[in-house]
Amino acid sequence: MMDNTQSLYFLLSRLWVHISHRRRKQLAGLGGLMLLGTVAEVVSLGMVLPFLGAITAPDDIFRHPWIQPIVTGLELTSSDQLLLPLSILFGFAALLSGVTRLSLLWAQTRLGNAIGNDLGSAAYRRTLYQSYAVHVARNSSEVVAVLMTKINTIVYFIIIPLLTLITSIVIVTTVVAFMFFVDPELTAMTFLGFGALYVLVAYITKKRLARNSQCVTTGQNDVAQVVQEGLGGIRDVLIDGLQETYSQVYRRVDGRLRRALSNIAIMGGAPRPVIEAFGMVLISLLAYMLTQRQEGIITVLPLLGTLALAAQRLLPLVQQGYAGWASMLGGQASLNDVLLLLEQSQPAYSNQSPSVPMSFKHQISLNDLSFRYNSRGSWVLSNIDLLIPRGCRMGFIGTTGSGKSTLLDIIMGLLSPVSGTIRIDDVVLDETNQRAWQAHIAHVPQAIFLTDASIAENIAFGLQKEDIDWGRVQEAAKQAQIAGVIESWYDGYDTLVGERGIRLSGGQRQRIGIARALYKKADVLVFDEATSALDNDTERAVMETLDFMDKDLTILIVAHRITTLKNCDKIVELNGGLLQRISNYQDLIEHYAQSS
């Protein structure tokens, strides 16, 4: 148990770093409420002795020194008059205890979920700020599992159980101390017996809880991956009839996850029926022992009642504390995954105001540039030297795997070269200025990402609807050769595209992607096979539109068809990561004609 507890303590200390000052203040306020709840429990428990005493031995209670302030204050003259005020005080103390417990439950749950919201937002933000190389290397389903499932697991398996455990410890410790004051011998016998049982159960279940914790975090990843793959490839699933295959895989991984969750819940709740049964037996034995005292049954009844009520109050608290500990052990693997996202490093610009575009007046130059994705991988690009003047229309061709898209990613500042440099005018591009450079760039990939929103919102990507410049949207759509199609639809620019643009054709999606790039009014346009889904006439019209745009506009085009590059000033041919040649369209056609 010690190893798991130490590991959990280490994880919690890492988690504490990510709790905001505002939440820490609220946690301090919760601590105050815990103390109030402790006082309320002790007061309600303390009222049992005089209340039962007023019923069983009213004369003794009437003469007790602690009751004299009540007798004097209310001007009571006989013991018969004492029962009503003590009943009222006992009832008030019980109500106060109930209200504080309810308040604690509300505060713990609300604060736990507020902390969960903070952690989820911070993890998502840090993830979005990771470099493109990190996103390429990682499995997105694991990130989705953390953000959509494991944050929730942390709230209900770690944060709220931890708050409940602390509350239980504080109240139980205080009440036990009070009971020691009343009768140390009976208190020691009772609560040491209960404590020993819980320690024994904890020792038996600790390893199983750790194993199930790992099963939970693995299962959450697997479920997210199956759902992503099944829905992301729904066309192939439907065409190949793979519905049952994915359903069975989902059933298997989800079943494994839920078995682990149920095991944790069972091990967390299992001691309660055993302890309650043991408690009844123990109370009956204590009752028998008390009746054998010389004072007699009437004298010890208040003590026995107080002890029984204390056990009735404390057993649920002890059980909650144990269940909280079991939940925390069950959730520590998920907590570790969440912390990995929270502890991701962030670039310097993440906490800065939006970057002002850096100066770009002359050229982009690549000097002896080489790149590979990891130290063991093969070189994707080797010793590239290339000069791209401002206003140049430059095309890139090469076989699949020749490094075209990777080269564009480096030019766009998404990837950093392993060796060599890329300069904007005379400034070396690095992490400190990449956002200032990217402010110049608009990118149109082959696979256009569309949100489940309107046409206008997808063209003015990232803007709230009220912030959209509608004239600019229409101008961009016209330049992308899709304005006529959009305006023929019933809802026009308010037409919803469906998830990932599923209601649009491939050509329509790509033209909306082109319109998005044009809406940005960037001065460097990057087309990565962006016209591959267009028919020849539409592609020709789009390219002619680009030709008539500002001559200072730099356009970089990776094309599947050589004819797409007809109006390019220069065409760069890559082969196996090497720069094969730089030529114009006519020279390239003649070269291929001679080669054939």
pLDDT digits (tens, 9 = 90+) for 207-251: 777 777 778 778 777 877 777 777 666 655 665 576 777 788 878
Distance CA 329, CA 342 (A): 20
Span of 46-50, 54-58, 181-185 with lowest mean pLDDT: 54-58
Distance CA 209, CA 524 (A): 55
Distance CA 3, CA 329 (A): 11
- 406 within domain boundaries: yes
Tell whether 442 and 576 lie within a shared domain. Answer: yes
Is 168 strand, coil or helix?
A: helix
Handedness of CA 268, 269, 274, 275 (dihedral sign): positive
- The per-residue pLDDT for 54 is 58
State which of 144-153, 177-186, 238-247, 380-389 shows the largest mean pLDDT.
380-389
- The per-residue pLDDT for 330 is 78
Average pLDDT over residues 531-548: 70
Average pLDDT over residues 36-40: 81
Distance CA 153, CA 331 (A): 7
- The per-residue pLDDT for 310 is 62
Tell whether 319 and 402 lie within a shared domain. Answer: no
- The per-residue pLDDT for 2 is 40
**DSSP-assigned states of every residue in 405-432:** HHHHHHHTTSS--SEEEEEETTEEP-TT
The candidate with the shortest Cα–Cα distance to 408, out of 528, 521, 520, is 528
Which of 276, 309, 344 is where one domain is finished?
344
Cα angle: 122, vertex 126, 127; to 5 degrees:
115
Distance CA 287, CA 156 (A): 39
Tell whether 417 and 470 lie within a shared domain. Answer: yes
| Residue keyed to tokens 């054709």 | 505
CA distances from 251 to 39, 226, 246, 255 (A): 50, 10, 9, 6
Asked if residue 371 has pLDDT above 60, the reply is yes
Tell whether 377 and 338 lie within a shared domain. Answer: no
> Which is higher by pLDDT, 456 or 505?
456
Tell whether 86 and 216 lie within a shared domain. Answer: yes
Tell me the CATH number at 118.
1.20.1560.10
Tell me the CATH number at 475.
3.40.50.300
- The per-residue pLDDT for 171 is 78
Fill in the amino acid letter for 575: N
Tell whether 304 and 370 lie within a shared domain. Answer: no
Tell whether 100 and 147 lie within a shared domain. Answer: yes
Average pLDDT over residues 406-416: 90
C-beta of residue 338 within 8 angstroms of C-beta of residue 151: yes
Distance CA 543, CA 546 (A): 5
**pLDDT tier at 134, thresholds 50, 70, 90:** confident
Tell whether 574 and 491 lie within a shared domain. Answer: yes
- 414 within domain boundaries: yes
Could you read off the pLDDT of 92-110 as tens digits, one per residue? 777 887 888 888 888 888 8
User: Whole-angstrom distance between the N-terminal and C-terminal Cα of the chain?
Assistant: 74
Asked if residue 194 has pLDDT above 70, the reply is no
Distance CA 402, CA 415 (A): 16
Asked if residue 430 has pLDDT above 70, the reply is yes
Q: What is the mean pLDDT of the chain?
A: 78
How many independent structural domains does the chain possess?
2
Which of 313, 344, 375 is where one domain is finished?
344
Span of 150-154, 240-244, 569-573 with lowest mean pLDDT: 240-244
Tell whether 375 and 334 lie within a shared domain. Answer: no
- According to DSSP, the β-strands at 393-397 and 554-558 are parallel
Asked if residue 326 has pLDDT above 60, the reply is yes
Tell whether 321 and 368 lie within a shared domain. Answer: no
Asked if residue 427 has pLDDT above 70, the reply is yes
| Residue keyed to tokens 């069975």 | 248
- 495 within domain boundaries: yes
- 351 within domain boundaries: no
Distance CA 552, CA 521 (A): 12
Could you read off the pLDDT of 481-528 as tens digits, one per residue? 888 888 888 888 888 877 666 677 777 888 888 888 888 888 898 988
Question: Which residues are within 8 A (CB) of 344 and not within 5 positions of it... i.e. 6 or more apart?
Answer: 126, 127, 129, 130
CA distances from 211 to 253, 264, 333 (A): 16, 10, 9
Cβ neighbourhood burial of 305 (10 Å; 0-12, 13-18, 19+): middle
Q: What burial letters (b/e) apply to 360-385, b meaning 16+ CB within 10 Å?
A: beebbbbeebebbeeeeeebbbbebe
Range of the domain at 155: 2-344
**pLDDT tier at 50, thresholds 50, 70, 90:** low
- 445 within domain boundaries: yes
- 358 within domain boundaries: no
Tell whether 414 and 563 lie within a shared domain. Answer: yes
The 578-583 sheet, strands edge to edge: 441-444, 524-528, 554-558, 393-397, 570-575, 578-583
**DSSP-assigned states of every residue in 238-249:** HHHT-HHHHHHH
pTM of the predicted model as reported, rounded to 2 decimal places? 0.73
| Residue keyed to tokens 């809406």 | 519
**pLDDT tier at 564, thresholds 50, 70, 90:** confident
Distance CA 167, CA 102 (A): 13
State which of 19-28, 76-85, 338-347 shows the largest mean pLDDT.
19-28
Tell whether 319 and 380 lie within a shared domain. Answer: no
Q: What are phi and psi of 533, to 5 degrees?
A: -95, 5
- 356 within domain boundaries: no
- According to DSSP, the β-strands at 427-428 and 419-424 are antiparallel
Question: Which residues are within 8 A (CB) of 280 and not within 5 positions of it... i.e. 6 or more apart?
Answer: none
- 352 within domain boundaries: no
CA Rg value for the chain: 36
Name the maximum alpha-carbon separation found in the chain: 124
**pLDDT tier at 551, thresholds 50, 70, 90:** confident
Distance CA 326, CA 156 (A): 12
Q: What are phi and psi of 430, to 5 degrees?
A: -145, -170
Q: Which two tokens stand for residue 358?
A: 């850096």
Q: Which two tokens stand for residue 86?
A: 């003590």
Which of 309, 344, 379 is where one domain is finished?
344
CA distances from 179 to 75, 91, 100, 277, 521 (A): 31, 20, 21, 21, 76
**pLDDT tier at 295, thresholds 50, 70, 90:** low
> Which is higher by pLDDT, 332 or 275?
332
